[in-house]
A and B are shown apart, each in its own frame.
Chain A
Amino acid sequence: MAAAVGMGQQWVLVEMVQAFYEAPAYHLILEGILILWIIRLLFSKTYKLQERSDLTSKEKEELIEEWQPEPLVPPVSKDHPALNYSVVSGPPSHKIIVNGKECINFASFNFLGLLDNERVKNAAQASLRKYGVGTCGPRGFYGTFDVHLELEDRLAKFMRTEESIIYSYGFATIASAIPAYSKRGDIVFVDEAACFAIQKGLQASRSNIKLFKHNDMADLEQLLKEQEIEDQKNPRKACVTRRFILVEGLYMNTGDICPLPELIKLKYKYKVRIFLEESLSFGVLGEHGRGVTEHFGINVDDIDLISANMENSLASIGGFCCGRSFVIDHQRLSGQGYCFSASLPPLLAAAAIEALNIMEENPDIFQILREKCKRIHKALQRISGLIVVGDLFSPALHLQLEETSGSRENDMKLLKRIVDYCMNRSIALTQACYLEKEEKCLPPPSIRIVVTVEQTEEELDKAASIIREAAQSVLN
């Protein structure tokens, strides 16, 4: 039986082969095509997931016709608080004419009163006679003047560092220095109260940014520890990830001093480099005005990079970075604001040199400034409705509302009325201005009071009492 079945199958096979030979060609071709068709059906998608049909050029034209862009800039209302600037007629020195009214200046960062200094002006004049105004080129292309080299040398000596580098604009200094070192993938631990120039520098660097609470070392250490754990997971990445702590000496936005000794401890414990922005503290803190390192008695070499502008204490324009040559020299090819911008007009460099001379010759000036800061700080305590924010030694302190009225806009209006009240009584003040949408951590609205050595004790007391009156009349 089994054999019969076997025979039968064999017969079928033979018959098939025979039929194959005998079949007409068209039949075979047809079957072949059918088989291919089946294969195609099996392997191709039955329908297209996305019907891709390119737009015809007519459709494109229509789309282009339809598109309506937003206006280049949104309209600004006529009464925008920042639209109409106060106009200063004449020099913005100790006595200042704001909107036609003579006042005592409590708003310009002219801490040492060097803006109006005859010696500084004469030095600038001499430079003007020799070099003219502009430099007509970046440092690389015949824009390096002997005054620039002298100023760099003098700043490095003054700060007791190996080298310094000058920029032609204060804002561009730290904003260019940060991206010269910190690149994509690197980590920067930064105080949340850091000024806008630092924020922009960080943005340009595209590094990972870790904000710690203002002057809160525990919070910083927490972040550093977290990073350490992260690093242990991926040691390969950790050994190429640069780490930086970015702090200000005196905070522009709060008037606080940074706790530098603790920061140095953290630096060595977690092997993080420290960059220090000293625009407010340079020429203010320390016995010789060398800034926050001198204030705390810290070896300046423990700070990897110090940056400051020459637009406050030195009453000129521009900024500088200083530190070890190993660090600073890198900026001469990588600091964008240094390489790609025209260099500082020589007369402004000469003014800065002369200002440095004056600082070196009169170290008492810093003590005087500190006394004055303390005096107004004390005098401004216990004003109902206002609180003083900022360190005792800070020449730029903030007056904030004790209780917010609920909206930032109203708070600003209240403070504006205080400012106007004082302005009418010959005390020139200004609100601290911020771009509200751009700031990472927007500071509360405040009036910024700037102390300078030129203000007499009577003037300081008078200012304090007028502010007290103003608060009384506006807030109560």
Chain B
Amino acid sequence: MERPEQGLGEPDSHPHANGCSLTGYGALRNGYVRGLPEAENQIHHIAHNGGLYRRPFNEAFEETPMLVAVLTYVGYGVLTLFGYLRDFLRQWKIEKCHHASEREEQKDFVPLYQDFENFYTRNLYMRIRDSWNRPICSVPGAKVDMIERLSHDYNWTFTYTGRVIKDVINMGSYNYLGFAQNTGICKEAAAKVLTQYGAGVCSTRQEMGNLDKHEELEKLVAKFLGVEAAMTYGMGFSTNSMNIPALVGKGCLILSDELNHASLVLGARLSGATIRIFKHNNMQSLEKLLRDAIVHGQPRTRRPWKKILILVEGIYSMEGSIVRLPEVIALKKKYKSYLYLDEAHSIGALGLTGRGVVEYFGLNPEDVDVMMGTFTKSFGAAGGYIGGKKELIDYLRTHSHSAVYATSLSPPVMEQILTSMKCIMGEDGTTFGKECVQQLAENTRYFRRQLKERGFIIYGNEDSPVVPLMLYMPAKIGAFGREMLKRNIGVVVVGFPATPIIESRARFCVSAAHTKEILDTVLKELDEVGDLLQLKYSRHRLVPLLDRPFDETTYEETED
């Protein structure tokens, strides 16, 4: 395995100037932080390729304590045993069967689902189903109103009591900058456009759905991102799944981070290119794949790859980690590949003026070939965009699946994006947008630091507004979600299959709309719930991401 610093060192960087004054693969790397919080003042900001970073990159993951891991597996074991037992009882009609069944007329068809397919849903998910899909009936701002629901049959069905749980603190919505509002300039502007244009478009961009508003929005997005041109799409998910196939195809290679979002995975699959997976945010793994790909060419045919596209996200929504963009860009330049950066969570939420992860690292947007992002999160709207060179956008205008077959963005939604984006850029003549970005950064650091001090295991980068708090055990997923709601706090909990099986977690999304009082309330309640559920696992032994086990097997997926 090549030492990445050899590969990555910029021509002018001195071997010792890249911040890696280590002998071999010692323990001190990648923002290793020793002995929190006492040592907070003397953090060693040692990144693997420190020379590439203009700011400290503190990203650490604490290892799962062994006892917790064992108990978690035991937990799943017990659940599975009981699952089998109850399936057995259901089969013999001893226990009432709640789930919907096939029509009588179609009983002799091939079953629509394999029996085991829904084992997990039936026996594990169903027990804690009340922690998801909680209906709300207000703006998804800092506080939301939630519709109360009850289940009399252990979550198989819900009944609505008609009551509303008022002012639940919202730690779940992706409202990073607080633009989810039903008052203010964004709403006013959207209302005006709604009256003028109506809600829908009823056509595609290439046919009759290219409104003047679309052109206006795309110019603004390009300006915001600092790229030559941009194109917008009606849905964030589809922006990935319908545009990656336009960029790469058979004979091309996609290198994808193992934790990439489902939309990127789907887009990669639909493209017909070969897909190889590198370890999460692991630059050695990426570089190895790049080298091997170029040296060995395509499998079987032995032809060189037509092109290589690296797919990464700005902020990973389940890990809270920030992509090592300076290193990725150095690698992509060295190996002449192309970079597709999905800024779904990072646009607006990172960088001094909200321009995303590129600004956060002080890089040049031109070094990223495809800048993709969504309007759902920071802008409080819907849809997605792709920005880049004019040739790229011209090509997408003619070849994007979305431009030809899918309805274009709704006008009032576009107006929300236009107004909120102008606000972030300061084009509305106020500093409100800028303050929001700063507030978010402050809130993020405060909330993360406080959680760490309280002894929770927190994943991800210290600047990432996505804050995963580890729960590990399956029973704690439900318990945590319910306990927090009891205290009027709405949280997101996630378990398998969205996370590795033992790494169930709760995820907080910090927002600029959260006041210090709100965050303090959340922290106070969390403290209690943490004691109650024994969630304070942390032994303050942080392991840098790179030192997590990395086996060299690569997973390959080839479409036929």
Pair from one complex: yes
A binding-site residues for B, Cβ under 8 Å: 55, 57, 60, 63-64, 67-76, 80, 82-83, 85-93, 96, 98, 105, 107-110, 115-117, 120-121, 124-125, 128-137, 139-146, 148-149, 162, 168-172, 175, 181, 195-197, 200, 203-204, 238-243, 268, 271-273, 301, 304, 309, 311-312, 314-317, 324-327, 329-330, 332-333, 336-337, 339-342, 344-345, 347-348, 351, 428, 430-435, 438, 448
Report the bound CA distance from A162 to B103 in whole Å: 12
Contact: B207 with A134, CB < 8 Å? Answer: no
B202 and A92 form a contact (CB under 8 A): yes
Question: B209 to chain A: which residues have CB within 8 Å?
Answer: 88, 92, 108
Confirm or deny: B89 has a beta carbon within 8 angstroms of a beta carbon on chain A. no
CA distance A58 to B270 in the complex (A): 37
| A273 to B234 CA separation, bound complex (whole angstroms) | 31
Closest to B176 in A: A136
If A83-B397, A326-B102, A333-B125 touch, whether A170 touches B407 (CB-CB below 8 Å) is yes
Q: Are B208 and A96 in contact (CB under 8 A)?
A: yes
Tell yes or no: B377 within 8 A of A by CB: yes
Q: Are B203 and A109 in contact (CB under 8 A)?
A: yes
Q: A171-B405, A345-B410 are in contact. List 16 more A-B contacts (CB 8 A).
A: A64-B295, A80-B398, A88-B210, A115-B198, A121-B198, A129-B182, A132-B380, A136-B380, A243-B110, A312-B202, A326-B103, A326-B112, A341-B263, A348-B410, A433-B204, A435-B405
Q: Ordered nearest first, which 9 A-B pairs have the shortest CB separation?
A: A73-B395, A169-B235, A341-B237, A107-B208, A85-B210, A342-B376, A326-B100, A133-B416, A351-B199
Query: Are A200 and B270 neighbours in the complex by a CB distance under 8 Å?
Result: yes
Q: Whole-angstrom distance from the CB of A394 to the nearest CB of chain B?
A: 16
**With an 8 A cutoff between CB atoms, is B200 at the interface?**
yes
Contact for A438 among B182, B237, B380, B401, CB less than 8 A: B401
Chain A residues near B125: list those with CB within 8 A.
Answer: 333
A171 and B242 in contact, given A68-B336, A341-B236 (Cβ under 8 angstroms) = yes
User: For the complex, is B43 an interface residue (Cβ under 8 Å from A)?
Assistant: no
Beta-carbon contact of A137 and B174 below 8 Å = yes
Q: How far is the CA of A141 from the CA of B135 in the complex (A)?
A: 9
Please tell me if B247 contacts chain A, counting CB pairs below 8 Å.
yes
Most buried by B among A137, A146, A433: A137
Could you tell me if B376 and A134 are in contact, using CB atoms closer than 8 angstroms? yes
| CB <8 Å contact, A204 and B196 | no
A70–B307 touching, CB < 8 Å = yes
Q: Which of B470-515 contact A (CB under 8 A)?
A: 490, 492
Is the Cβ of A347 less than 8 Å from the Cβ of B194? yes
Q: Does B41 contact A (CB under 8 A)?
A: no
Question: Is B153 at the interface (CB under 8 A from chain A)?
Answer: no
| Beta-carbon contact of A428 and B410 below 8 Å | no
Q: Does B439 contact A (CB under 8 A)?
A: no
Tally the A-B contacts, defined by beta carbons under 8 Å: 369
Q: How far is the CA of A105 from the CA of B195 in the complex (A)?
A: 19
The 28 listed contacts between A and B (C-beta, < 8 Å) are A72-B247, A72-B338, A82-B398, A88-B212, A91-B196, A91-B198, A125-B191, A130-B139, A136-B140, A137-B174, A169-B234, A175-B241, A181-B112, A200-B242, A314-B200, A315-B199, A326-B101, A326-B103, A326-B112, A330-B112, A333-B121, A341-B263, A342-B382, A345-B410, A345-B413, A347-B412, A348-B199, A435-B399
**Residues of chain B within 8 A of A98, CB atoms compared:** 208
Q: Are A141 and B380 in contact (CB under 8 A)?
A: no
- Per-residue A-contact encoding for B215-246, CB less than 8 Å = 1, 0 else: 10000000000000000001111100110010
Task: Quote the shortest CB–CB distance from A248 to chain B (angstroms).
Answer: 14
How many interface residues does B have (CB within 8 Å)?
Answer: 122
B241 neighbours in A (Cβ, 8 Å): 172, 175
C-alpha gap A347/B182 in the complex (Å): 11
A73 lies within 8 A of B391 (CB): yes
Chain B residues within 8 Å of A117, by CB: 198
Contact between B135 and A146, CB atoms less than 8 A apart: yes
Q: Which residues of A contact B101 (CB under 8 A)?
A: 326
Partner of A64, one of B114, B174, B210, B335: B335
Taking a contact as CB atoms under 8 Å apart, the answer to whether B394 and A134 are in contact is no
Taking a contact as CB atoms under 8 Å apart, the answer to whether A196 and B191 are in contact is no
Whether B197 pairs with A317 at a CB distance below 8 angstroms is no
Q: Which residue of B lies closest to A64 (CB)?
A: B294
Interface membership of B262, Cβ < 8 A: yes
Whether, in the assembled complex, B539 has its beta carbon less than 8 Å from a beta carbon of chain A, the answer is no
Tell me, in angstroms, the Cα distance from A273 to B102 when the chains sit together: 12
Of all chain A residues, the one with the shortest Cβ separation from B190 is A133
B85-109 contacts to A (CB < 8 Å): 99-103, 105-106, 108-109
Q: Looking at the complex, which one of A136, A172, A181, A430 makes contact with B237 (CB distance below 8 Å)? A: A172
Residues of B within 8 A of A132 (CB): 139-141, 180-182, 186-187, 380, 416
Instruction: Across the interface, name the chain A residue whose C-beta is closest to B309.
Output: A72
- The reply to whether A146 and B199 form a contact with Cβ atoms under 8 Å apart is no
CB closest residue in chain A, given B207: A430
- CA gap between A196 and B402 in the complex, in Å: 10
Is B392 an interface residue when CB atoms closer than 8 A count as contact? yes
Bound-state CA distance A67–B112 (Å) is 48
Q: Residue of B at shortest CB range from A305?
A: B112
Contact A85 B180 (CB under 8 A): no
- Are A340 and B261 within 8 A (Cβ)? yes
A315 near B404: Cβ-Cβ < 8 Å: no
B206: contacting residue among A71, A85, A87, A109, CB under 8 A: A85
Q: A60-B291, A75-B391, A317-B200 are in contact. Are A133 and B307 (CB under 8 A)?
A: no
A169 → chain B closest CB, angstroms: 4
**CB-CB nearest in chain B for A129:** B182
Q: Which residue of B lies closest to A111 (CB)?
A: B202
Which of B138, B211, B379 makes the CB contact (< 8 A) with A134? Answer: B379
Contact B262–A340 (Cβ < 8 Å)? yes
Tell me which residues across on chain A come within 8 A of B208, comparing CB atoms.
86, 88, 92, 96, 98, 105, 107-108, 428, 430
Determine the residue in chain A with the shortest Cβ distance to B374: A342
B211's nearest neighbour on chain A, judged by CB, is A88
